[in-house]
Amino acid sequence: MVSETTGLEANATPLEAASPFELRVDLGKGVPETDVRSALATGDVGFLHSFTTGSAVDGPGIRLVAWTTACMFRCRYCHNPDTWTLSNGIPVTIARATEELRKYERGLKAMKGGFTLSGGEPLMQHRFAAKLFRAAKNLGIHTAIETNGIYGSKLSDAELDDIDLVILDIKAFSLDQHRHVTGMDNAAVFDFCRRLAALRRPMWFRYVLVPGLTDVVEEMEQIAAFAASLGVVERAEILPFHQMGRYKWDKLGIEYTLSTTEPPSKSEVSRAVEIFRAAGLKAD
């Protein structure tokens, strides 16, 4: 298991970041492979890009957000490619992460907010995620996870009970489009959605609108119809593409295919919102 001294005290990088757009790399690079495997298996230690405070866009109310590292998708519009790699994260024990939650407990409750675990893809560290959500619930804090859903089967029904809201980052409906956007298949994503529906677990859907890539009417119509059919999707959010994370691709030496893509216009965003509303969903 990763020790406090090896994994944490040797790393002077603060847990809190001013913004998730801060570039962070190699913060867990010195952790031995055996300790990494133990951490993933037990969940006693997680690898985090950072915590950010005061978020009003990652679930209801004002929220504390923890950003994990490691992701299996390679979304072409990703604004945090430094979170793709596990070793870019700070090794953090459950005890230390819980203390971070406790520090903001009263404020989060007062502002009708809570704690959101995002990434990266947090369910690539599913044991750590489960333990952290249990700790948050023990503190009486509202919990949310922002996930692409592909590893939803890694959580038991009891563990899902510790998550008050699942924010699903839906990338595409058709297999071909999903592969085009992320490089991976999406059958497991829909399986997870259906499981959440059967369990009556609340969900939000998020969809990034990228001109020339995801602004496909048929895709959005199919996603909206699917979301409406689940009966548990409380809200659909259309997120306009932006270039705020482009510098990370450049710094990391990763080819960025959207360098000349402009953010969608207000009318394009409105059209997308109306597609989801037409399916009977609350959308913005």
Percent of the chain whose pLDDT exceeds 70:
96
Is residue 59 predicted with pLDDT exceeding 90? yes
pLDDT at 4: 43
Percent of the chain whose pLDDT exceeds 90:
92
Q: What is the pLDDT of residues 125-163, one digit of tens each?
A: 999 999 999 999 999 999 999 999 999 999 999 999 999
Closest CA to 44 of 4, 85, 88: 4
pTM value? 0.94
Find the CATH number of the domain harbouring 253.
3.20.20.70
Residues of 185-217 as b/e, b for ≥16 C-beta within 10 angstroms? ebeebeebbebbbeeebebbbbbbbbeebbbbe
| Tokens representing residue 77 in the block | 């519009």
Structural domain includes residue 59: yes
Q: What is the pLDDT of residues 60-119, one digit of tens each?
A: 999 999 999 999 999 999 999 999 999 999 999 999 999 999 999 999 999 999 999 999
Q: How many domains does the chain have?
A: 1
pLDDT at 7: 44
- Residues spanned by the domain of 236: 49-77+94-278
Structural domain includes residue 203: yes
Q: What is the spatial order of strands in the sheet that 114-118 belongs to?
A: 90-93, 45-55, 63-68, 114-118, 142-147, 165-169, 203-209, 233-240
Closest CA to 70 of 13, 122, 16: 122
| Tokens representing residue 225 in the block | 């119809």
Helices (H), the chain: 4, 33-42, 94-110, 126-138, 157-160, 175-182, 187-199, 217-230, 246-252, 266-278
In sequence order, what are the residues at sequence separation of 6 or more whose Cβ sits closer than 8 angstroms to the Cβ of residue 230? Answer: 193, 194, 196, 197, 203
Structural domain includes residue 138: yes
Dihedral sign computed on CA atoms, order 71, 74, 80, 86: positive
> How far is Cα 151 from Cα 165, in angstroms, rounded to an integer?
16
Structural domain includes residue 214: yes
Is the model more confident about 17 or about 252?
A: 252
Kindly tell me the burial class for residue 22, based on how many C-beta atoms sit within 10 Å of its own C-beta (0-12, 13-18, 19 or more). middle
pLDDT at 86: 96
pLDDT at 284: 95
Structural domain includes residue 43: no
Structural domain includes residue 161: yes
Torsions phi, psi for 167 (to 5 deg)? -100, 105
Is residue 251 predicted with pLDDT exceeding 70? yes
> How far is Cα 153 from Cα 170, in angstroms, rounded to an integer?
17
Is residue 6 predicted with pLDDT exceeding 80? no
> How far is Cα 93 from Cα 97, in angstroms, rounded to an integer?
6
Closest CA to 213 of 76, 120, 78: 76
Across 42-57, average pLDDT? 95
Is residue 2 predicted with pLDDT exceeding 60? no
Structural domain includes residue 21: no
pLDDT at 11: 60
Q: pLDDT averaged over the chain? A: 94
Write down the residue that tokens 């070793």 correspond to: 87
pLDDT at 21: 85
pLDDT at 8: 42
Structural domain includes residue 39: no
Write down the residue that tokens 């492979």 correspond to: 33
Across 31-59, average pLDDT? 95
In sequence order, what are the residues at sequence separation of 6 or more whose Cβ sits closer than 8 angstroms to the Cβ of residue 119? Answer: 49, 67, 68, 69, 70, 71, 83, 146, 147
